[in-house]
């Protein structure tokens, strides 16, 4: 039997930091990352045979729970016919239609392999479409690791973006304006100054990568209005929230668009562009607002490498081969990934969302009860079934931006995290990440979590 410690030592010789994505290395919480051997339902098992209730859910994708038998079967069936063709398939069309049926403004969809590619392409499309160079992003919002979106948070209004990583030329982020999140005045000021040069504003639909920081009442609507007035586009990054917060993502939850699930398109909208356009128009009448471009990832690939962007057809047709904006991918629309994504969306019915909402509310309550019993100062931000905990601070009205998020007491989370891990519950190894639940988190799994929380709250109370 190899221990995770042995495995990590060897991995660090072969792979930088021993991991293929930095947060997995436990740098923020210390200790040894568990090397995972298998996952099923709400559980993961490490190399040593330890079983954990998983609240990472592969960072969001496993909405149905790990290794859902029907998803595995769909992938197995697809694999029998070959792993990749580099040619179009019917499954890609079916998945595109399944996405449009849930999020109508994504009238046409282009598939890529990662969320990073989806946002990178969305930015390029916005620039190509508008003929402008500048983009606006918000401090603390994560949109993947492409150069132009790795701009650090500057202080003050309309700070010119500085690269948040070595290796990103200053010139690349010079066209990125970084603004504080939830600050409508800062947004208006930036547009007053640069409005005719700004191609787009990119925002997480509800930020979830600085902890959960929901938009204040109408912040997304303000972004919509300000961009529309200036002839700029609004990109809503739903890589994390899409098909997780509701059947139509965070957008559907907020804008009041609730498709009956499983969502399907009318026959005419499958075959005729005009009929599809009319159907989309009709659907959007029921929504309070709609962004121009959506990006999806995580759940949409059902655990396989797949992400997508979608917008109205006229805009999407700016992409090659029809338009001048180039984008491509050897493995884009991969047959195994599209099979997993399509099956996942087909199975994610209203019952799935109702269950995730329910267990999320129960978990939030259990956290409040124990943290209060132990006298740990905390702020619990939540929106829909998403939530996260900021320990060591009690922010009236909730954490609203990156600066407030960063002022939490990381040592308390570290103590809480390790106490939970020792009790068989795997939390995200960073206090800046959302916690994820799934349809497979049943009573038995939830009870393991509930039993572990009081001890972890005590550990957090004692942490200095
Ligand atoms: C995860 C994430 C991305 C990046 O997706 P990858 O598949 O990791 O490249 C982009 N945007 C948001 C909001 C995310 O949560």
Same domain, 149 and 197: yes
Average pLDDT over residues 398-402: 91
197 is catalytic: no
Do 230 and 341 fall into the same domain?
yes
Looking up residue 169, the CATH number of its domain turns out to be 3.40.640.10
Pair 149, 246 in one domain: yes
218 given a catalytic annotation: no
Ligand 1 atom closest to Cα of residue 307: 7
What pLDDT shows up at residue 436?
97
Answer yes or no: do 164 and 96 share one domain.
Answer: yes
Report how many domains make up the chain.
2
CA 240–ligand 1 middle distance (angstroms): 6
Lining residues, ligand 1, CB within 6 Å: 114-116, 119, 142-144, 204, 209, 237, 239-240, 297, 307
d(CA 148, CA 400): 24
Which of 347, 378, 400 terminates a domain? The answer is 347
123 and 254 share a domain? yes
User: pLDDT: is 406 or 56 the higher one?
Assistant: 56
On whether both 31 and 96 belong to a single domain, the answer is no
Q: Which band of pLDDT confidence, cut at 50, 70 and 90, is reported for residue 63?
A: very high
**Sequential DSSP letters for 236-277:** EEETTTTTTSSTTHHHHHHHT----SS----HHHHH-HHHHH
Q: Which of 236, 298, 432 to mutate to test the pocket of ligand 1 (most atoms within 8 A of CB)?
A: 298
In the predicted model, what is the mean pLDDT of the chain? 94
Residue whose CB lies within 8 A of the most ligand 1 atoms, among 204, 297, 388, for a mutation test: 297
Positive or negative, the CA dihedral 211, 253, 439, 355 is positive
Mean local confidence (pLDDT), 315-342: 98
**Model confidence pLDDT, tens digit, residues 33-44:** 999 999 999 999
Catalytic residue among 52, 142, 257, 289: 142
Higher confidence at residue 170 or residue 262?
262
- Shared domain for 80 and 228, answered yes or no, is yes
Question: Are residues 45 and 83 both part of a single domain?
Answer: no
CA distances from 205 to 20, 140, 237, 258, 295 (A): 26, 13, 6, 16, 10
Task: Give per-residue pLDDT as tens, 104-152.
Answer: 999 999 999 999 999 999 999 999 999 999 999 999 999 998 888 887 4
Give the per-residue pLDDT at 161: 60
List, for residues 68-105, the tens digit of each pLDDT value. Answer: 999 999 999 999 999 999 999 999 999 999 999 999 99
Residue 314 DSSP SS3: helix
- Domain of 172 in residue numbering reads as 69-347
221 in the same domain as 181: yes
Same structural domain, 102 and 198: yes
Q: Which atom of ligand 1 is nearest to the CA of 209?
A: 15
Q: In this structure, are 88 and 114 located in the same domain?
A: yes
Catalytic residue among 237, 257, 343, 413: 237
Last residue of a domain, one of 313, 330, 347: 347
290 CA distance to ligand 1 centroid (A)? 21
Task: Tell whether 54 and 147 lie within a shared domain.
Answer: no
Task: Using the 3D structure, point to which of 286, 314, 347 is the last residue of a domain.
Answer: 347
CATH number at residue 37: 3.90.1150.10
Q: Is 165 exposed, middle or buried (0-12, 13-18, 19+ CB in 10 A)?
A: exposed
Probe ligand 1: pick from 209, 299, 332, max atoms within 8 Å of CB? 209
Dist. CA 321–CA 308, nearest whole Å: 17
Question: Is 10 a known active-site residue?
Answer: no
């Amino acid at each position: 039997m190899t221990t995770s410690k042995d495995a990590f030592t060897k991995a660090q010789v072969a792979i930088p930091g021993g991991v293929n994505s930095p947060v997995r290395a436990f740098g923020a919480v210390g200790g040894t990352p568990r090397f995972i051997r298998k996952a099923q339902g709400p559980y993961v098992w490490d190399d040593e045979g330890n079983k954990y209730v998983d609240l990472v859910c592969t960072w969001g994708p496993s909405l149905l729970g790990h290794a859902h038998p029907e998803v595995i079967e769909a992938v197995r069936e697809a694999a029998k016919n070959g792993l990749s063709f580099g040619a179009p398939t019917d499954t890609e069309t079916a998945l595109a239609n399944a996405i449009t049926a849930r999020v109508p403004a994504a009238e046409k969809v282009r598939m890529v392999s990662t969320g990073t590619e989806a946002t990178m392409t969305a930015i390029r499309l916005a620039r190509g479409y508008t003929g402008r160079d500048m983009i606006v992003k918000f401090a603390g919002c994560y949109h993947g690791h492409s150069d132009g979106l790795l701009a650090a948070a500057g202080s003050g209004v309309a700070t010119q973006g500085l690269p948040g990583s070595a290796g990103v030329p200053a010139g690349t982020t010079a066209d990125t304006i970084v603004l504080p999140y939830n600050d409508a005045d800062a947004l208006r000021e930036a547009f007053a100054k640069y409005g005719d040069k700004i191609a787009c504003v990119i925002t997480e639909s509800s930020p979830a990568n600085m902890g959960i920081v929901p938009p204040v009442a109408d912040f997304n609507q303000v972004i919509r209005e300000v961009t529309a007035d200036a002839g700029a586009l609004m990109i809503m990054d739903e890589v994390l929230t899409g098909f997780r917060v509701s059947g139509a993502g965070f957008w559907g939850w907020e804008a009041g668009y609730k498709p009956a699930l499983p969502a399907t398109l009318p026959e005419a909208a499958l075959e005729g562009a005009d009929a599809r356009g009319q159907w989309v128009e009709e659907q959007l009448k029921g929504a309070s607002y709609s962004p121009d471009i959506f990006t999806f990832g995580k759940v949409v690939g059902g655990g396989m490498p797949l992400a997508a962007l979608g917008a109205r057809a006229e805009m999407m047709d700016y992409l090659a081969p029809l338009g001048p904006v180039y984008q491509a991918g050897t493995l884009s629309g991969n047959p195994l990934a599209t099979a997993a994504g399509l099956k996942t969306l087909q199975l994610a019915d209203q019952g799935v969302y109702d269950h995730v909402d329910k267990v999320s509310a129960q978990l939030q309550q259990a956290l409040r009860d124990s943290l209060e019993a132990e006298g740990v100062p905390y702020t619990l931000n939540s929106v829909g079934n998403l939530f996260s905990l900021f320990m060591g601070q009690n922010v009236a009205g909730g954490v609203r931006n990156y600066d407030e998020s960063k002022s939490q007491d990381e040592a308390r989370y570290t103590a809480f995290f390790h106490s939970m891990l020792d009790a068989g519950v795997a939390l995200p190894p960073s206090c800046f990440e959302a916690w994820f639940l799934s349809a497979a988190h049943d009573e038995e799994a939830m009870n393991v979590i509930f039993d572990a929380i009081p001890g972890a709250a005590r550990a957090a109370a004692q942490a200095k």
